[in-house]
Structure 1
Amino acid sequence: MSMKALLFDFDGTLLNTNDLIIQTFMYVLEERFPGQYSPKDCMDFIGPSLIETFEQITPDEVEVMIEKYRQWNQENHDALVTEYDGVVDTLEKLKMQGIRLAIVSTKRRDTIAKGLELMGASHLFEFVVGLDDVKKVKPDPEPVLLAIEKLGVEKEEVMMIGDNYHDIEAGKNAGVKTAGVAWSIKGEEFLRTFNPDYILQHMSDLLTIVEES
């Protein structure tokens, strides 16, 4: 069965928000726990939802910390994000070929919309499944299954693409094909341990995968 739809994680997959995320965590954690966290520590917080992360770090102040995080993140967003090579160009080619594109992320839809607008890619995606659309986030299959339902396609025709194990596990749990991106801050070898069906060295690899499926 041929590939008809591609589901993408957003952060670290379509847009390089790693520096933004790390610096935002450093800002809020340095204020709350001076000198206790390093940028390397903050790498562990890339992927899980903010609720999961702050429930572990500051269980009594989850909402306050999330609000501080979001405020600083929004204010510094455009200055700290960068684009990955070939992402928008590849998405445009896939769209022209009739491949259906959607985003499945643990971020809120408004933050994703900001990033997409900056990339000039808002028009390429049919919809976004964000934090506000589901009860359970990746690696639970709920967000992926919701996207499949919205698309009205068969699982065999879908692939989930991301930079973290949450994406690969969510795809596997939902019964779809999976791909990890080699430009993940976690590293290609780390992603390989979760056995995705594909590893993308460059976004344009998707054109070949879709053609051969």
Structure 2
Amino acid sequence: MYQCCIFDLDGTIINTLHSLKKTVNETIKQFGYGPIDEYHVRYFVGDGYKKLVERTLVYCGDTELTHYEEALTVYDEMFKKYCLYQMEPYAGMPDFLKMLKEKGIRIAVVTNKAHDRAVECVETVYGPGFFDKITGEGKGMKCKPDPEGALKTAEEFHVEPSECLYFGDTNTDMKTGINAGMDTVGVLWGFRDREELEAFKPKYIISHPDEIRSLFNETSENSPASAGE
């Protein structure tokens, strides 16, 4: 039985799409660009805010990234303002997380979102102290898909990587789990599609948290209905 579950943030435990779209569009508006739609935001996020800004500027026509450094500063200012904009947990996730806690399974977040903003988002939706550990970009931690954040979480919890499940909605998350030597769960309620996740052969692919509850029922011998294997 798994002893630890590690979750991505955006597109996995919290729907932050409206927040990210609002922040990006308010940023590029300062340079006469935009707005961009949700489809493009979905595919620009996942590798940290610097990559998000870079991809957005290139898409808008700033191929030389003339405004890049200034845009990073503006984005940071805008994100402080809109970080919590229209955020909400995904259906079934709060109950699933409570079930894990009740069974004594450690739960953590590892995200490429800036650490302070990540803590603010998670604690606003789930409450202070609900997760055993939150790790965001910065604080000397390497960005995903580098496994450092996931591995340090496992080490702090005194569990082996093989005893951890890593949940995420993008190729970056699947790579992170693989690089950490952890079983991965691709979630379909997030920002990317099944085809992207299947390319990395996750242990499971699910459309709702309830589909994987059986893994944590010690008397069950059934695998989740949407298992990727």
- TM-score w.r.t. the length of structure 1 is 0.88
- Matched AA of 1:29: I
Match of 1:106 in 2: 112
Change (3 A) 1:28 1:209: same
In 2, Cα distance between equivalents of 1:86 and 1:168: 22
Match of 2:130 in 1: 124
Secondary structure of residue in 1 paired with 2:166: strand
- TM-score w.r.t. the length of structure 2 is 0.82
Number of residue pairs aligned between Structure 1 and Structure 2: 212
In 2, Cα distance between equivalents of 1:8 and 1:38: 26
* 1:121 CA drift (Å): 3.7
In 2, Cα distance between equivalents of 1:210 and 1:97: 8
Match of 1:16 in 2: 15
TM-superposition CA deviations, 1:34-79 (whole Å, max 9, x none): 2485443333221011123345647565453233223222322333
Match of 1:6 in 2: 5
Change (3 A) 1:14 1:35: closer
The counterpart of 1:85, out of the listed 81, 85, 91, is: 91
The 8 Å contact of residues 88 and 121 in structure 1, kept in 2 or not, is answered as no
In 2, Cα distance between equivalents of 1:202 and 1:134: 34
Q: Percent identity, aligned pairs only?
A: 28
Change (3 A) 1:155 1:127: same
Bigger CA radius of gyration: 2
In 1, Cα distance between equivalents of 2:212 and 2:69: 39
The counterpart of 1:163, out of the listed 166, 169, 176, is: 169
Flag as ranges the 4+ runs of structure 1 deviating above 6 A: none
In 1, Cα distance between equivalents of 2:190 and 2:54: 25
More helix, by proportion: 1
Of structures 1 and 2, the one scoring higher in RCO (CA 8 A, sep 6+) is 1
Change (3 A) 1:151 1:64: farther
The 8 Å contact of residues 123 and 130 in structure 2, kept in 1 or not, is answered as no
- Matched AA of 1:185: F
Task: Say what the alpha-carbon RMSD is for the aligned residues.
Answer: 2.3
Secondary structure of residue in 2 paired with 1:113: helix
Gaps of 5+ in 1: none
Match of 2:190 in 1: 184
